[in-house]
Amino acid sequence: MRVLIVEDDPVLADGLTRSLRQADYAVDCVHDGGEADHVLATQSYDLVILDLGLPKLDGFEVLRRLRRRGSKVPVLMLTARDSLQDRVRGLDLGADDYLAKPFDLPELEARVRALVRRGQSGGSAALTHGALTLDVAGRRATLNGDPLDLSARELGVLEVLMMRSGRVVGKEQLAEQLYGWDEEVGANAIEVYVHRLRRKLEPVGVSIRTIRGLGYLLEKESNG
**CATH number 3.40.50.12280 given to 126-220:** no
pTM of this prediction exceeds 0.85 = no
pLDDT at 123: 46
pLDDT at 40: 95
Question: What does the alpha-carbon distance between residue 194 and residue 207 come to, in Å, rounded to a whole number?
Answer: 11
Query: Could you state, in chain order, the average pLDDT of each consecutive group of 10 residues for the chain (224 residues)?
Result: 92 92 88 95 91 92 94 89 76 88 87 76 65 78 85 85 85 80 73 89 83 84 47
Question: What does the alpha-carbon distance between residue 132 and residue 197 come to, in Å, rounded to a whole number?
Answer: 12
Domain boundaries defined on the chain: 2-121, 126-220
CATH code, 2-121: 3.40.50.2300
Residue type (1 letter), 25: Y
Residue type (1 letter), 214: L
pLDDT at 201: 85
pLDDT at 224: 43
pLDDT at 65: 95
pLDDT at 173: 81
